[in-house]
Chains A and B, each alone.
Chain A
Amino acid sequence: MSKRTVELELATPGLDARGEPLRVPLGVAEPNLDAEHMLINIGPQHPATHGVLRLVVELDGETVVQVIPHLGYLHSGFEKLGEYRHYNQIIPLTDRTDYLSPMANNVGFALAAEKLMGITITPRCTVLRVIACEMSRIISHMVWLGTTSIDLGAFTPFLWAFQERERIYNLQEMWTGARLTTSVTRVGGLMADVPDDFVAGLRHFTRTFPKTLSEIDRVLTRNAVWVGRTQGVGVLTAGEAINHSLSGPMLRASGVAYDVRKDKPYLDYETYDFDVVVGEHGDVYDRYLVRLEECSQSNRILQQALDRLPDGPVNIADPRVILPPKSRAMNDMEAMIYHFKQVMEGVKAPVGEAYVGIENPKGELGTYLVSDGTAKPVRWRIRPPSFINLSALPRMAAGHLLSDLIAINASVDIVMGEVDR
């Protein structure tokens, strides 16, 4: 607590007349520090906080008394910016919120805008968006697994996980031309159809990915150090998890079988055969098991999506929403007018509001759009899953050791771009 605890205990200023530190005289008992708490600062520049999160921790010895998180270092005012942009112009902003799963964010925003405008997308677009979401889930969980295993002292799974993530990134690059800032969706469709060898590439991935998962499983799941560092740490019961509004793997690890894909299906998720992974104890270990198993469930969904991928257009045939092809815009008067109106005025949404929640890797990503009939939303609200999941951190960490705080913080799976927005 105080930097001069010993001197205060001895009731001296700590320095002699010449400014030299006083020696504690022999025979003086050790000061009683039981009531003394220490305040330490972790972050914002600290690898274990997974971004620019700052935690101010009050410690009693090595036990955490309370954690006070400080956010906002990455605040960019995305929601404010969105009020000044057309719906399609907002999509690049969604890349930058949860930047570990950009494609899923694009899908979330496009679904909300389409619900607001009453648009039904094409069958091929639906399946491609499912592929986008599940690829995002795998890369996001792989980053989580890699960084968390490094936090807890296991280096090898990090390399394996990032290798798998790299393969998905190559596929994303093949599809969109970008690895991270994908901006893959448009209102009413997609930026582009997948290239020819994408399907073969993804099929190869889905065949070979389970091997890596089983290797990670073999290295970590029954590893004594891993189990010792994670089991019984940061426990939240089902009731607490619901009361803290947690979502995604954090909620399911506590034993609540709520998955937006099953319970409020979007993109025809009800027609896919996959299991909702539920934990039992709500500790860090169960969150690890849930995320690991979710990766293989995502792999199953990817295989089914590839099997059923229909032919046909990816964009709806509505020239008021989808830009006409450039060749037509240059040669056809009507197409040129639509092109001009869309670029200059934007796509107008009817008066109303829409909320769409999708099951992002981090939890339920909600997009809440309010329109007053113009081409720019009155309000674009992101329900940020990792922001809300992180708000349970002080509750989870209290009473644990400082080293457990790192494990608990890692298990929340935060990405500060989304927490701060």
Chain B
Amino acid sequence: MNPSVDALRATFGTAIGRALESCGDTIVYVGRDALRDVMAWLRDTPEHTYDYLVDVTAVEYRDRERPLEVVYGLRSLARRADLRVKVELEPQGDLTVDSVVPLWRGADWLEREVYDMFGITFRGHPDLRRILMWETYAEGFPLRKDFPLRGRFSRAEQVRQALAAHPEAHYSMEELSIAEAYEELPADMKERLRRGERGTVPEPE
């Protein structure tokens, strides 16, 4: 077991959940509210120095009772040590977790991909929008277990939507505001732009 787990428990107490080992890797569960503090502590404490974020991803189990997990792979480059940090989220509840982009710029696209594929919102992410699917994709979140392998819409419906889409919808709001193409936007995108839906950081509750 990785010694960082005991140090975490000593510092954060009940915010640290269970810890286990699987195939030689240490996994530690962290409460959702303490995540940002725990990550900053792991990165900056001299004897731990997990300075490298390997990966951010999520796991949904086939067992519907089990919560969704957001998985962070951390590595200390100097000590050659790995630690896997997990946050559990109830699938029916609020799928929101603090973003770690302020700590690691590399988390930017990784968190966008988790949002795109699982619908998990990262609070404090500077630019949280879909990355692999297009911005107007309406079928949901593909890597969730309730998402059918062939997609929610029939092939005919997908073709119909693709043909009906406004070509300008392939640009992001940010780009359109640079290009002064606001007047040519479809009405719903105008509405979203007016609300300032993109590029703003939601206030923490």
Contact = CB atoms under 8 A, between A and B. Distances in A.
B107 to A, nearest CB: 7
A150 B180 CA distance: 35
A68 B175 contact: yes
Interface in A154-183: none
Q: How large is the interface on A (under 10, 10 to 19, 20 to 34, 35 or more residues)?
A: 35 or more
Given A72-B132, A378-B62, A245 B178 contact: no
Given A116-B23, A353-B23, A68 B174 contact: yes
**Taking chain A's interface residues, is the majority helix, strand, or loop, or is none over half, making it mixed?**
mixed
Nearest to B52: A242
B184 to A, nearest CB: 12
B84 A395 contact: no
A243 B104 contact: yes
Contacts of B61: 370, 372, 378
A81 interface: yes
Interface in B153-193: 170-172, 174-175, 178-180
A71 interface: yes
Contacts of B92: none
A352 B23 CA distance: 7
A20 B38 CA distance: 67
Interface in A220-260: 240, 242-246, 256, 258
B134 A72 contact: yes
Interface in A35-75: 37, 39, 56, 58, 68, 70-72, 75
A357 interface: yes
B110 A388 contact: yes
Contacts of A70: 170, 172
Nearest to A394: B108
Contacts of A246: 106
Contacts of B143: 79-80
B194 interface: no
Interface residues of B, number: 48
Interface string B46-58: 0000011111010
Interface in B118-173: 130-134, 142-143, 147, 149, 170-172
B59 interface: yes
Contact of A364 (B24, B54, B107): B54
B142 A383 contact: no
Interface of A: 1-2, 37, 39, 56, 58, 68, 70-72, 75, 77, 79-81, 84, 115-116, 118, 240, 242-246, 256, 258, 263-264, 352-355, 357, 364, 366, 368, 370, 372, 378-379, 381, 383, 387-388, 390-392, 395, 420-421
Interface of B: 22-25, 27, 51-55, 57, 59-63, 71, 73, 77, 80, 82, 84, 104-110, 113, 117, 130-134, 142-143, 147, 149, 170-172, 174-175, 178-180
Given A70-B172, A77-B142, A368-B55, 6 more contacts: A39-B175, A56-B172, A56-B175, A81-B149, A353-B23, A372-B62
25 contacts: A1-B178, A39-B175, A39-B178, A68-B174, A72-B131, A72-B133, A75-B133, A116-B23, A118-B23, A245-B104, A264-B80, A352-B23, A353-B25, A355-B84, A372-B61, A378-B59, A378-B60, A378-B61, A378-B62, A379-B59, A383-B55, A383-B57, A387-B113, A391-B106, A392-B105
